[in-house]
Amino acid sequence: MPRLVVVSNRLADPRKSAAGGLAVALAEVLNETGGLWFGWSGRTVEPNEGGRGGEGRLHTQHAGPVTLVTVDLSREDHDSFYAGYSNGVLWPVFHYRLDLADFDAGYITGYRRVNQMFARKLKALLRDDDIIWVHDYHLIPLAAELRALDCHQRIGFFLHIPLPPSLILAAIPGHDWLMRALFAYDLVGFQSKADLLHFTGYVEAEAHAHSMGEGRWRAFNRTLQAGSFPIGIDVEEFESLTRAPEGREMFERMRREYSRRNLLVGVDRLDYSKGLPQRMKAFREMLERYPEHRSSATLIQIASPSREDVSAYSDILHELETLCGSINGNFGELDWMPVRYIHRTVARTRLPGLYRASRVALVTPLRDGMNLVAKEFLAAQDPADPGVLVLSRFAGAAEQLRDALLVNPYDVEGTANAIHLALQMPVEERRNRHAALMSVIREYDVHWWCDSFLDALVQAQPEETGTPWLRL
């Protein structure tokens, strides 16, 4: 069996349960083949420390049969590649937020330089028959840079975030370069059918690609396979975290503390794509319209700090704090706070207890590749008395989770009504919806995701030898 090489911007230690289902699932397939995981170390170094132009040092660690290799970035490369192009251009545009994109021409040079450096460092570690799986928007041109160095291995790419329609993509200066780079992969995977449609729409209209049937597309003298592979969670692992002492202790504490209340929960990175201000407004509207929930409905909103060096993030933090303060000021009682807002990361082992103690989860992003919190909430429920998932129709997860209460997060009144419905839903309906949703997340779990992507990558028809590699 060929060795698997995973490349992602950040690595997680697959031995730690805090690493999460994705890291654990990747570790499983890496373990089977004694694989290699390559990415950024998370460290930035000064030029005299790590060398100029991102030529950082490599760090090697072993986790059982898996080798983890990471590389340092120079401060300048971090600023243009990571904060600049990845999180200042690609993240907002791919989440349909052209208004928040910062198209500084220098960023793309840094993005390209880091991808070239990754390719050079990685090439030295590769074997001829490796299978390479590249993750996410930080590394779109990596395969093209590897091909330029004469790497002929099978390479697949998975985009964890949404792909917008071509008119939005076309707002990125150099979008044609970026999309052409995808054709250096043998397989390109998306979270949803909608993302896949946006991809095929773009390549047909802008790159004159033609379909060769069965998900194969030809352009730029290259053929690739494209498909949708909705990412799942490790349902069994999450269920066992729910039963574990920390999960149970959290559940009991929450139940005790909020015995006279109906808990609602939101768990997100503090990111403008997650629709947090709109969620707060909908919760406020629900309290306004349905006074029977006052003194009872309590929303715990965990918003973990994220990318604080990108300016759009401090605006969202300020807006959220103001909204929470005004809801508590206007509706709160001496013995009831409508919103508990926590600007911290909660340990993964405690989340299941919090989810299980909650009657309703609010997962209402304005745009999201998938959203795993929605699936984790479902897996943590008691099937006999489950909570209700209120889910944005703009999360990738909505394509699969049709039995959730689907909402348009921009529609504050509509979302408020759905929250009211969720709080009132009879147990019979809650059970039926939960059972239907569980069967979907069990069938399409993270193991299905890994296996189906890797099977498709192995089966993607290799490019005929002699075809000149695409040059960027």
Residues with catalytic function: 160, 368
Q: Given the complex with ligand ADQ, which of 43 and 307 has the nearer CB atom?
A: 307
Residue linked to tokens 């009211």:
420
89 binds ligand ADQ (CB under 6 A): no
**CB atoms near residue 99 (< 10 Å):** 7
Q: Contact with ligand ADQ (CB under 6 A): which of 231, 265, 282, 390?
A: 231
Window of 63-71, 123-131, 343-351, 428-436 that interacts with ligand ADQ by CB under 6 A:
343-351
Window of 248-256, 283-291, 371-379, 386-394 that interacts with ligand ADQ by CB under 6 A:
371-379
- Residue 186 DSSP class: S
Q: Given the complex with ligand ADQ, which of 76 and 368 has the nearer CB atom?
A: 368
3-class SS shares of the chain: helix, strand, coil, % to 5: 50, 20, 30
Q: Given the complex with ligand ADQ, which of 21 and 141 has the nearer CB atom?
A: 21
- Residue-level length of the chain: 472
302 binds ligand ADQ (CB under 6 A): yes
160 binds ligand ADQ (CB under 6 A): yes
Question: Are 367 and 273 a contacting pair, CB within 8 Å?
Answer: yes
Question: Are 20 and 148 a contacting pair, CB within 8 Å?
Answer: no
**Of 273, 353, 347, nearest to 306 (Cα)?**
273
Question: CB 363 → ligand ADQ: shortest distance, Å?
Answer: 8
SS3 category, 166: helix
267 binds ligand ADQ (CB under 6 A): yes
Half-sphere exposure of 252 (CA within 13 A, CB side): 7
345 binds ligand ADQ (CB under 6 A): yes
Write the CB contacts of 279 (distance below 8 Å, at least 6 apart in sequence). Answer: 266, 301, 362, 364, 409, 415
**Total of residues contacting ligand ADQ (CB under 6 A):** 19
380 binds ligand ADQ (CB under 6 A): no
Question: CB 451 → ligand ADQ: shortest distance, Å?
Answer: 16
Question: Are 380 and 358 a contacting pair, CB within 8 Å?
Answer: no
Write the CB contacts of 351 (distance below 8 Å, at least 6 apart in sequence). Answer: 241, 267, 376, 380
The whole-angstrom separation of Cα 70 and Cα 6 is 12
269 binds ligand ADQ (CB under 6 A): yes
Q: Given the complex with ligand ADQ, which of 223 and 301 has the nearer CB atom?
A: 301
SS3 category, 419: helix
Q: Contact with ligand ADQ (CB under 6 A): which of 6, 14, 20, 366?
A: 20
Q: Given the complex with ligand ADQ, which of 98 and 347 has the nearer CB atom?
A: 347
Window of 198-206, 211-219, 257-265, 362-370 that interacts with ligand ADQ by CB under 6 A:
362-370
268 binds ligand ADQ (CB under 6 A): yes
The whole-angstrom separation of Cα 435 and Cα 400 is 14
Q: Given the complex with ligand ADQ, which of 228 and 304 has the nearer CB atom?
A: 304
* Residues at the contact surface with ligand ADQ, assessed by CB under 6 A: 20, 160-161, 231, 267-269, 302, 304, 345-346, 351, 368-373, 376
